Amino acid sequence: MKKSTSEINVRYGETDQMGVVYHVNYLVWFEIGRTDFIETLGLRYAAMEEDGFLSPVVDAKLNFHYPVRYGEKPIVETWLQSYDGIRTMYRYEIKNEAGKLCVSGTSTHTVVKKETFRPVSIRRSLPEWHAAYSKAMEA
Amino acid sequence: MKKSTSEINVRYGETDQMGVVYHVNYLVWFEIGRTDFIETLGLRYAAMEEDGFLSPVVDAKLNFHYPVRYGEKPIVETWLQSYDGIRTMYRYEIKNEAGKLCVSGTSTHTVVKKETFRPVSIRRSLPEWHAAYSKAMEA
Amino acid sequence: MKKSTSEINVRYGETDQMGVVYHVNYLVWFEIGRTDFIETLGLRYAAMEEDGFLSPVVDAKLNFHYPVRYGEKPIVETWLQSYDGIRTMYRYEIKNEAGKLCVSGTSTHTVVKKETFRPVSIRRSLPEWHAAYSKAMEA
Amino acid sequence: MKKSTSEINVRYGETDQMGVVYHVNYLVWFEIGRTDFIETLGLRYAAMEEDGFLSPVVDAKLNFHYPVRYGEKPIVETWLQSYDGIRTMYRYEIKNEAGKLCVSGTSTHTVVKKETFRPVSIRRSLPEWHAAYSKAMEA
């Protein structure tokens, strides 16, 4: 299974007064993981937008197991949970340096036309993406 | 059923280059809703922290139905989905001015000691909160 | 002198592990002040964008005098420091409930065409805005 | 002159509906530059906090010359503008891949006791930091 690993540089402003990373920021880190995962497939999200498409989030789930702190060097592991030619679901695991699972979750995405926000078939509209995602699912 | 309604002042920086609110910010708005809901129960989250407790997020789920745009005046409706003396689950619905459901979701929270992050029983450690939440569930 | 007053609802995620509001967020609050100030002139920033213009920031200065904490109810006071038909400089003062000055600063803005980012004369391209700003400076 | 260079991974959520990076985020990038600069001196900001000190921002100035876009790989160059044993002023330049200056600015910092927010002399309280900063100024 294709899996990407992204190193996160914890930003000071990502902490809150609990003294740990503010929970909302882990959803930003999921996106960092997703962007890197896409690059391991040989694709670039920025290029998709330049071609007139957007990939909005349909749903997201987060499970918070253990806090990440400023000064730590966490990673996000990202892989494909499902893909059907229309919807893509990614799975994420954020781990600290000791390898402890801190946050896990998923997000589901469609692809839409930039101008109209109308959903498109990835299979038909973005065949290069479809090929890469299909292959990643097989692996 | 007790329900709070929070008006959101969409901040320019909450949009992204899709031209709509960046999906992560809705999770921030859930917290605005939760804070207001707590106040409708006659309680204050800041006071809980002053008393030496924190209420971390255990899990969160978001469903994105329709985008909110800058210049709109969305609301967050918040209510209690479940409460068992230890865990509290809130439910959120973000609607635009036209009443259209834009984002829905839930989040689950425990209460821990500030110093140790050890979970406590809300029933025993915060009887005033327990009474208010139990009553809100009955309603 | 025309001056607007904006109440800020401090968000939990705006704090950092120092236990106070993360300094960067005051620049976001300046924008809340600016948006409200524009509305006291009978104008709407969102409307300017709908008309094909943007108002980027040219420079910003912040002086941090005293921290704002979660649970407080700060205000932003905003007024016009200078306006010459092309550039607009706003002045901001953030005060806590006790009236203590916490953060002060300025920001300077131009107006550009949305499509090209080319600067325009507010006087010529947005006569309604020019009239309101000129009047606010006189006051 | 000692100078650090930090590569910035532009995050999607850092853009706004102007289609470029939201101006406030450059102040976050300044902090990334500052943290890296401190590490080039052989020090760690996280370690200062563990020792019971904080380094709050006294003032910040930003000049916005040219927008950074998503998909670009900007850098922050950071160096010491002044240091007198009590206050430290850093200077920042954010450049895009083509080497074009996008944002420049400064920030000034003191060091305070974590418990009391009372200012301390870096020279006396943090001699290792004083030595490194004095040497960086000489260079």
Using the predicted structure, report yes or no on whether residue B139 has a pLDDT greater than 80. Answer: no
The answer to whether D102 touches D94, Cβ cutoff 8 Å, is yes
The fraction of chain B above a pLDDT of 90, given in percent, is 98
What are the tokens at A49? 């937008």
C-alpha separations of D127 from B108, D51, D70, D121, D138 in Å? 46, 13, 41, 9, 16
Gap from D87 CA to chain C (nearest CA, Å): 14
Q: Residue D139: which pLDDT band, with cuts at 50, 70 and 90?
A: confident
Who contacts C99 (Cβ-Cβ below 8 Å, separation ≥6)?
A: none
Average pLDDT over residues B114-123: 95
pLDDT digits (tens, 9 = 90+) for A59-74: 999 999 999 999 999 9
**pLDDT for position C139:** 75
Closest chain A residue to C71, measured at CA: A17
Among partner residues A17, A60, A63, which is closest to B62 by beta-carbon distance? Answer: A60
Chains interfacing with A (3 or more CB pairs < 8 Å):
B, C, D
Q: Which CATH class is domain B3-133?
A: alpha beta
pLDDT value at C1 more than 90: no
- For residue B19, the chain C residue with the least C-alpha distance is C49
**Tell me: the pLDDT tens digits for A96-115?**
999 999 999 999 999 999 99
pLDDT value of position D80:
97
Quick one: average pLDDT of D53-74? 97
Of A33, A92, A35, A88, the closest CA to residue A62 belongs to A92
Using an 8 Å CB-CB cutoff, list chain A residues near B31. Answer: 24
| Domain chopping of chain C, boundaries | 3-138
In this complex, do D17 and B22 lie within 8 Å of one another by their Cβ atoms? Answer: no
Q: Average pLDDT in the D72-93 region?
A: 97
CB contact under 8 A, A70 and D46: yes
Report the mean per-residue pLDDT for chain B. 96
Q: What are phi and psi of B79, to 5 degrees?
A: -145, 175
Q: Check whether B137 has a pLDDT greater than 80.
A: yes
Q: Is the pLDDT of residue B131 over 90?
A: yes
**For position B51, what pLDDT does the model report?**
95
Q: Tell me if C58 and D64 make a contact (CB, 8 A cut-off).
A: yes
How close, in Å, is residue C136 to chain A by CA atoms? Answer: 36
Per DSSP, what are the bridge partners of residue B113? B53
Q: In Å, how far is C71's CA from the nearest CA of chain B? A: 6
C5-22 residue pLDDT tens: 999 999 999 999 999 999
Nearest CB to D13; choose among A12, A28, A70: A28
pLDDT digits (tens, 9 = 90+) for C65-114: 999 999 999 999 999 999 999 999 999 999 999 999 999 999 999 999 99
CA distance D37 to D53: 18
Chains near C (3 or more Cβ pairs under 8 Å): A, B, D
Contact yes or no for B16 and D17 at CB 8 A: yes
Is D133:D48 a contact under the CB 8 Å cutoff?
no
Q: What is the DSSP string of chain D?
A: --EEEEE----GGGB-TTSSB-TTHHHHHHHHHHHHHHHHTT--HHHHHHTTEE--EEEEEEEE-S---TT---EEEEEEEEE-SS-EEEEEEEE-TT--EEEEEEEEE--EETTT--B--HHHH-HHHHHHHHHHHH-
Do B56 and A24 lie within an 8 Å CB cutoff? no
| Model confidence pLDDT, tens digit, residues A74-94 | 999 999 999 999 999 999 999
CB contact under 8 A, A17 and C20: yes
Nearest-CA distance from B18 to chain A in Å? 7
User: Does A3-138 carry CATH code 3.10.129.10?
Assistant: yes
Residue B41, pLDDT above cutoff 80: yes
Q: Is the pLDDT of residue A139 over 80?
A: no
